Structure 1
């Protein structure tokens, strides 16, 4: 199946109506917490924050959904790029969910447009307070395609702390797909993310009583559907290929979209997922080679 067939397949997926309701996202007191008015989160899979005001049930709202990974329920939390008014809610979610790894697939500003608020301090050694949480940046490692920040998250009230690994992929443009359509840098980044989650899970030891693969990984871009959904698809498909020798990109995207509405936002992202899994298969010896003829095209679509 070449590009044309995949584009038709994607249009079939995109034409389906959402598989749930958005009542909480549409409540008047929650509307301002959504970055985009047309990117809302499902009720059935939304992440519930602890209610900070007993008289206001909407204090449990954040634009974020649980999404399953490979053989792991709620492996991910897909969310929008935090807004200044939701920085405190974002870090409260990270704290309450036990998260130790955050994946960011956007830059804060792209083509002069704000895509995400600066929700952690950039300067090494500095601390910022967001709501009831303090975030300290301990170290930063800068690679060609991504930046790793080592953070410490502290609950100001209890003074309990947790280390957070924050990986920001910086070469995924707001138009098109990363790396001129070649997936190797993204696949390497995914490998770093998986290693970070594994190492953090080991350090948690018996203090983590949930799934053996650890707490949910928080993944966001700007809207939390395009680049975010693409990363989840790559991770889930790569894990299944490694374990079973089976790939089902379409089925994976269908399942992700059933938990986070409109995931995989652009046709080129859907094509890229197939291309990336072929590259992954060759890189890891599952295929000797891959014929990529017919996959190339100018990437002229915007992706969040």
Structure 2
């Protein structure tokens, strides 16, 4: 496995100081101690906005007012980005910087370990996700080596499966493996699991390593080239599938002693730029799990802007567009209704006039 050098500790979050969204205006700082999580119920400065207040704000405010105010706040970025500037050929966007403290290391054929990708925490789980842009031709082998070395059990793609030269970065036919550098990726089977989601079983092997690793590739094609999915239920179903399949594969891996219980088994999320759709999916997973956990102990909590701000501590450009805030708002509301967290008598009081959803013109 590729080492992280001096930053190999799992408690990367606890080593640094951050601003929380709730305290951005006051400049108050938050330091996470060992065994604390960035996304939790009890962490210092954890959001305490009840679901009913969230719904009232949703009904009386507008996305423009809420998100524009948030976007204008100066987010603290106590980070170094040295490797990002050392390898411009591996960055799709020169202005979207990758923090050293949360960067995922993966060996490139030229000997360095820079890959434009970041570790992202989940709800009460350190390094649950790896977030990355769709790989370029120079980084396809490195991307799959990262999946292999990091025991990533699930890869989710939210974009076209092509590099900048129009070549697929995944195998497209059974019996025709993708071989690049020392990595071989084979398509074992594929099936349609939902109207816009395909599930593929991949076998990944590395030259010089005896055993292969099995990975589930979930390809979601309903996002489209513009806007966001018209049905939040599609993404909520995708989240449920991701987490369920990961649980099954992790159990199988432990039984076969492919890895031990102390090892991370992250999910790798891929979108074209590596910070918009993928981070939106991460944010929704955190929001839903936190909403359920807080409901179980008394009061359901939800704060979308706080969650986005914390995500930006790990991946600087996470959820930069108002449309992603809109989608998260609609998805959290649907999740709450689905799971009976909203009183029936309050359903008629919900107004979404301030949140205009535009059509999604095209899927791929």
What interval of TM-score do these two structures reach, taking the shorter chain for normalisation? 0.7 to 0.9
Q: CA deviation at 1:126?
A: 2.2
Cα distance change of structure 1 residues 299 and 9 upon mapping to structure 2, 3 Å threshold = farther
Q: Deviations over 1:242-288 (max 9, x none)?
A: 22222222221111111011111310111110110110111122224
Of 273, 298, 301, the match for 2:358: 298
Name the stretch that deviates more: 196-205 or 143-152: 143-152
Q: CA deviation at 1:51?
A: 7.0
Q: CA deviation at 1:173?
A: 1.6
TM-score normalised by L of structure 1: 0.87
2:95 paired with 1:38: yes
TM-score normalised by L of structure 2: 0.73
Counterpart in the other structure of 1:146: 197
Measure the CA separation in 2 of the matches of 1:160 and 1:292. Answer: 55
2:238 paired with 1:189: yes
Q: Which runs of 5+ in 2 are unaligned?
A: 1-56, 296-300
Q: What secondary structure, in the 3-state scheme, does the structure 1 residue paired with 2:239 have?
A: helix
Measure the CA separation in 1 of the matches of 2:82 and 2:337. Answer: 44
Counterpart in the other structure of 1:2: 58
Q: Give runs of aligned pairs for residues 20-35 of structure 1, distance below 5 A.
A: 20-27=79-86, 30-35=87-92
2:264 paired with 1:204: no
Q: CA deviation at 1:115?
A: 10
Measure the CA separation in 1 of the matches of 2:277 and 2:340. Answer: 26
The answer to whether the 8 Å contact 1:91/1:130 transfers is no
Q: Which runs of 5+ in 1 are unaligned?
A: none
Aligned-CA RMSD value: 2.5
Measure the CA separation in 2 of the matches of 1:115 and 1:215. Answer: 31
Cα distance change of structure 1 residues 200 and 269 upon mapping to structure 2, 3 Å threshold = same
Q: Deviations over 1:88-108 (max 9, x none)?
A: 110111111111101111123
Counterpart in the other structure of 2:309: 254
Name the stretch that deviates more: 155-164 or 115-124: 115-124
Q: Which has the larger radius of gyration?
A: 2
Cα distance change of structure 1 residues 90 and 276 upon mapping to structure 2, 3 Å threshold = same
The answer to whether the 8 Å contact 2:308/2:318 transfers is yes
Counterpart in the other structure of 1:85: 138
Size of the aligned set, in residue pairs, is 290
Counterpart in the other structure of 1:129: 179
Measure the CA separation in 2 of the matches of 1:266 and 1:211. Answer: 37
